[in-house]
Amino acid sequence: MNALSALNAVSKTANGVTPELNSKLKAGAAETIVTRVKDDPAQRVLRLIDKAPGDLEDVHDELYARALVLNNGEQRVAIVTVDIGSLDGPAVLSAIEEATGIPKTNIAVNWSHTHGAPGVDGRAPAPGSGEWLADALSQLVQRAIDNLQEATLRVGREPAQIGYNRRLMGDDGYIRMEVNPEGAIVPWTDVLGIYGINGTRIAVMFSHAAHPVIVHWASEAITADFPGYAVGHLRNLLDKHSDPQGVLMFAQGCCANINGYPLRGGYDAADSAGLSLAFAAKNALTKAVTVSTKSLRAYALKVSLPYWHPPIESCKTMLEHDPNSRHRERLLRIIDGGSQEFLSYPMSGFAIGDELCMVFLPSETFAEYQLFADEISPFKYTVVFGYTNRSVGYVATKNDYDLDERGGYEASINHRWPLEPSIEAQIREGITQLFCKLK
């Protein structure tokens, strides 16, 4: 039975899924700065990079964390977005669960993967900053819980493109990191508007799939890159027509093989990209439709993706060609030991009523998986996120892994330890299972 047949055959109830309830949905949101506050250096805020106390000139624009909590009286779910390169997802989930009582399976922590923050490109977080951030996000979710009020939801989608696929096949048969106009992208923004029963705006969450690398290496300062500009521009656009209320949240999609454009274009280019995305989000919100909130369901599953085991002679040859490579030394040691290594790939989803579903995928997942989930979803409205809850390496497609050493930065053994080509089928099956359980 194929994925579409399986979804068509599934019943409206599934084991382990909360049944539909008549309770009113409540929503609450909150936000906080997670960089140092420039006008109050003594305030206990996150020092993201290990520099001398008082160094503030390295912060070009503040990084934020935002939280949205939904509660229908029986289920509670939390979505947290953070302007950061990467974070320790399991530690953050544990901290939020302990502080709020929301189970880990009902929490989605999504980071923008801005390359202007720690956790990427060798930017080392300051000592203790991980623990501080976990505590700050726990308090943030609790604040969102404290702000719960009866709510309605609207969902919309609008065409948007601020980046390009970054994997281009060269004349020599090797993948290079260059603009590929024909490559996979996710050419839209999904928008979720959450409103109180009196019409006030509680939150707006908008998502798009593109690496925040427009400022990348053009400046060493801390920056949220285009997502930060997009939030600012969207707030300005919305404030022209209503009171400046509500928390605005950018969520990252599956952009592992999509770069924001232009790469290393600087702050003005990031500002322009953010403005373009904000206009699309505003248009989507204007045309958004109200969805039923009569039920709230959550489901999570863990998938173990096997790493590829190349022939040991190939590993020895690679190490001979690059004897100083720690990556190849480690790979040879593992292959020689005969053990099979796996990448933990936790997937989860939330369903609201019968029409809206949110799917959360971890790590740096290729855009093709978001497109697949959108194509087979049995829900009228489906929003897919990448970079959620766990960040360990790239997750490419079978076609990419089949290229072997020609597979480029994300999928070649020349750059990292690739996964088995069979993992694409595993992930597709997992996405299908999520939909079956949530519908």
The predicted pLDDT at position 378 comes to 97
Share of residues in the chain with pLDDT > 70 (%): 88
pLDDT in tens, 363-392: 999 999 999 999 999 999 999 999 999 988
Q: What is the pLDDT of residues 230-240, one digit of tens each?
A: 999 999 999 87
Peptide bond into 262 cis (omega under 30): yes
Q: Is 230 exposed, middle or buried (0-12, 13-18, 19+ CB in 10 A)?
A: buried
Kindly indicate the confidence band of residue 12, based on its pLDDT and cuts at 50, 70 and 90.
very low
Residue the block writes with tokens 């030991």: 337
The separation between the first and the last C-alpha atoms of the chain, rounded to the nearest angstrom, is 18
267-286 helix and 226-239 helix, angle to the nearest 10 degrees: 50
Angle at which helices 423-438 and 367-376 cross, to 10°: 40
DSSP3 helix / strand / coil % (the chain, rounded to 5) = 30, 30, 40
Mean pLDDT of the chain: 88
Give yes or no for residue 310 having a pLDDT over 80. Answer: no
- Rounded to whole angstroms, the maximal C-alpha distance in the chain is 69
Single pTM value for the model: 0.89
With b meaning 16 or more CB within 10 Å and e meaning fewer, what string describes 371-408? bbbbebbbbebbbbbbbbbbbebbbbbeebbebbebbb
3-class DSSP assignment, residue 322: coil
pLDDT at 70 over 80: yes
* Distance between CA atoms of residues 214 and 353, nearest Å: 38
More confident residue, 41 or 366: 366
Q: Within 10 Å of residue 233's Cβ, how many Cβ atoms?
A: 22
Contacts of 121 (CB under 8 A, 6+ apart): 85, 115, 216, 217
Digit-coded pLDDT (tens) for 319-351: 677 777 776 777 777 777 777 888 999 999 999
